[in-house]
Structure 1
Amino acid sequence: MRVDGYAQDGYEGVRRVFQDLVAQGRETGAGLSVWRDGREVVRLGGGWADGECLRPWTHDTLVQPYSLSKPFAALAALVAVREGALDLDEPLARRWKGYGARGKEHITLRHVLTHRAGQPRFPESAAGLGALDDAGLRNSLAAAEPEYAPGTRTGEHALTHGHLIDGVLRAATGSTLGEVFNGVVRPTLGLDAWFGVPDSELSRVADLEYAHPEWARRQPAAPWLAVPQGPLDTGTVNSRAWRQSVFGGVNLYTSATAVAGFLSRITDREGPLRALVGPELHEEYLAAQATGFDEVFGTELTWTLGFLRDDTKIAKGGIGGSAAWWSLRHGHSCAYLTRRLDDHSRVAEIAAVLGDDLSVMPMRAARP
Structure 2
Amino acid sequence: MRVEGFVADGYEPVRQVFQRLVDEGRETGAGLSVRRDGREVVRLSGGWADAARTRPWRDDTLVMPYSLSKTFVTLAALVAVRDGALTLDEPLAGRWPEYGVHGKERTTLRQVLTHRAGQPRFPETAAGLDLLDDRGLRESLIRAAPEYVPGTSLGEHALTYGHLVDGILRASAGTTLGEVFNGVVRPALGLDAWFGVPDGALERVADLEYAHPEWPRRLHAAPWLRIPDGALDPERTNSRAWRQSVFGAVNLHTTASAMAEFFGRLTAEDGPVRALLGPQLHTELLTSQVTGHDEVFGTRITWTLGFVRDQGKIAKGGIGGSAAWWSLRHHHACAYLTRRLDDHSRAAEIAAALGDDLTVVGED
Q: Do Structure 1 and Structure 2 share a fold, with TM-score over 0.5?
A: yes
Which residue does 2:128 correspond to in 1?
A: 128
Letter of the 1:356 partner, please give it. D
Q: Hey, what's the Cα distance between the residues in 2 that align with 1:335 and 1:264? A: 10
| Cα shift at 1:217 | 2.2
Q: Hey, what's the Cα distance between the residues in 1 that align with 2:45 and 2:96? A: 43
Contact 2:344 2:362 survives alignment (8 Å): no
Contact 1:65 1:337 survives alignment (8 Å): yes
Q: Hey, what's the Cα distance between the residues in 1 that align with 2:174 and 2:70? A: 21
Q: What 5-or-longer segments of structure 1 have no aligned partner?
A: none
Which residue does 2:242 correspond to in 1?
A: 242
Name the % identity.
73
Query: For residues 56-110 of structure 1, what are the alpha-carbon distances to aligned partners after superposition, in whole Å with 9 as ceiling and x for unaligned?
Result: 1111100000001111111000001000012111111111131011000000100
| Cα shift at 1:363 | 4.3
Q: What 5-or-longer segments of structure 2 have no aligned partner?
A: none
Root-mean-square deviation (CA, aligned residues, Å) is: 0.8
Residue 272 of structure 1 pairs with residue 246 of structure 2? no
Which residue does 2:173 correspond to in 1?
A: 173
Query: For residues 99-151 of structure 1, what are the alpha-carbon distances to aligned partners after superposition, in whole Å with 9 as ceiling and x for unaligned?
Result: 01100000010000000000000000000001100100000001100000100
Secondary structure class of the residue paired with 2:96: coil
Letter of the 1:226 partner, please give it. R
Q: Hey, what's the Cα distance between the residues in 2 that align with 1:63 and 1:296? A: 23
What pairs up with 1:218-237 in 2 under 5 angstroms?
218-237=218-237
Letter of the 2:60 partner, please give it. D
| Cα shift at 1:218 | 2.2
| Cα shift at 1:362 | 5.7
What pairs up with 1:1-368 in 2 under 5 angstroms?
1-361=1-361, 363-364=363-364
Contact 1:32 1:336 survives alignment (8 Å): yes
Deviates more, 1:93-102 or 1:187-196: 93-102
Contact 2:220 2:298 survives alignment (8 Å): no
| Cα shift at 1:162 | 0.4
| Cα shift at 1:361 | 2.4
Q: Hey, what's the Cα distance between the residues in 2 that align with 1:49 and 1:66? A: 17
Secondary structure class of the residue paired with 1:85: coil
TM score, norm. by length of structure 1: 0.98
Secondary structure class of the residue paired with 2:216: coil
Aligned length: 364
Q: Hey, what's the Cα distance between the residues in 2 that align with 1:190 and 1:218? A: 37
Q: Hey, what's the Cα distance between the residues in 2 that align with 1:10 and 1:178? A: 40
Secondary structure class of the residue paired with 1:301: strand
Contact 1:154 1:294 survives alignment (8 Å): yes
| Cα shift at 1:292 | 1.0
Query: For residues 14-59 of structure 1, what are the alpha-carbon distances to aligned partners after superposition, in whole Å with 9 as ceiling and x for unaligned?
Result: 0000011111111000000000000000000000100111111111
Q: Hey, what's the Cα distance between the residues in 2 that align with 1:253 and 1:24? A: 26
| Cα shift at 1:174 | 1.5
Contact 1:310 1:360 survives alignment (8 Å): no
Letter of the 2:157 partner, please give it. H
Contact 1:195 1:245 survives alignment (8 Å): yes
Contact 1:92 1:100 survives alignment (8 Å): yes
Letter of the 1:263 partner, please give it. F
Secondary structure class of the residue paired with 1:64: coil
| Cα shift at 1:213 | 1.4
Contact 1:120 1:155 survives alignment (8 Å): yes
Contact 2:68 2:323 survives alignment (8 Å): yes
Secondary structure class of the residue paired with 2:97: coil
Letter of the 1:62 partner, please give it. L
Query: For residues 146-191 of structure 1, what are the alpha-carbon distances to aligned partners after superposition, in whole Å with 9 as ceiling and x for unaligned?
Result: 0001001110000000000000101111211011000000000001
Letter of the 2:335 partner, please give it. A
Contact 1:76 1:181 survives alignment (8 Å): yes
